[in-house]
Amino acid sequence: MPLDEAFLRRLAAASDKTLEIFVHHLVSLETATYRDHECYGGSGDKGRDVAGFLTDRRHEGEWHNFQCKQYRRPLGADYILLELGKMFHHASEGAYILPSKYVFVVPGNLSAPARALMDRKSALKAELLQNWETHCARRIVKGGSIPLTAAIQELIEQFDFNCVEAWESSRIMTLPNVVFAAAKAFGDDPGDAPYGVVPADVDLRSEHYGEQLRMVYSEHDGRDYPDAASVLAHEEHGEDFQIHRRRYFDAVEFERYFTDKVGRQHIDAFREDLRSAVHESYRSSTGLGRVRAVMDAAGRANLGGLFGRHGRVTHMVRQGTCHVFANEQKLPWWKKK
């Protein structure tokens, strides 16, 4: 789902803590890059809000630092220099090795002087070395002074400032997994899951809802359909059965996809709401009439939660989830008599 101005308004209105949570979700979703991650925001964070660790060694190995700042006006150069100063101070004291990437997350965007420093990294380095006393010395530790020691100076001189970057609002909107981080942090609609892949062959052992439907069709017609092929060959039931299969595999893919992207708790809430919505239709009918009544109720159900505004869930996925319930014997279409 493409992001819009409403997302930018929510991002701009977020508190410092909510912004940190949003960025932490962004980092946690980059599973191909980070082995682990941590949110440190708050007093005592030692110049880190969110960290992404590229190895199991955490701060003794390669890592990325994300510094989040929610200003209601463009962020100044003084803040950037101070936060970098904090990092070099704590690194000089052995809190961590320097990160291989440092990101300022700035939804309110940078001021012109700050952007000029970010565009010329040599100037950023020079300003920090030449004016440490102004930007950092008396501002790193409350009530104290941190001079530019030989250890700090060596770290600054050896550091590759090209790894320092800024994520302003326009950049944030283009980041991988941003829609899923927005869903986690702000409850935004995360868009559509990919369509499920319907196998050409029917396996009634794994598609147990299909075995139940086979028995429902047999009971409804008063004749035995011994296997899936006999159902598929029927003039009416064959098309009906294939539509049910499409619904089921869409629902399975929906659950898999969003469990990974936004968390199992949202899927569980969706399932619970849907099961409640179709309960009366399920209990007040039997046989093929029950299947049709539940499909209709699922399609019309007005659900809340994260997926309440989710268009495709209103139809194929909601209906297919009822087949998932049947597979799990929570709402079986047919029981042995």
Predicted confidence at residue 116, as pLDDT, reads 95
Predicted confidence at residue 1, as pLDDT, reads 47
Q: Quote the tokens at residue 15.
A: 């508190």
Return the amino acid letter for 182: A
Phi and psi at residue 110, to the nearest 5°: -90, 150
pTM over 0.85: no
Query: 168 pairs with which residues across the strands?
Result: 106
Q: Within the chain, which residues score under 50 in pLDDT? A: 1
Q: Using the structure block, give the residue that is written with the tokens 């991650």.
A: 37
Query: 101 pairs with which residues across the strands?
Result: 64
Predicted confidence at residue 5, as pLDDT, reads 79
Q: Residue 220 and residue 136: Cα distance in Å, rounded?
A: 80
CB 98, CB 91: distance < 8 Å: yes
In this structure, what DSSP letter does residue 54 have?
Answer: S
CB 63, CB 52: distance < 8 Å: yes
Predicted confidence at residue 208, as pLDDT, reads 96
Predicted confidence at residue 192, as pLDDT, reads 83
Domains, the chain, ranges and CATH?
A: 5-186 (3.40.91), 208-327 (no CATH)
Predicted confidence at residue 130, as pLDDT, reads 97
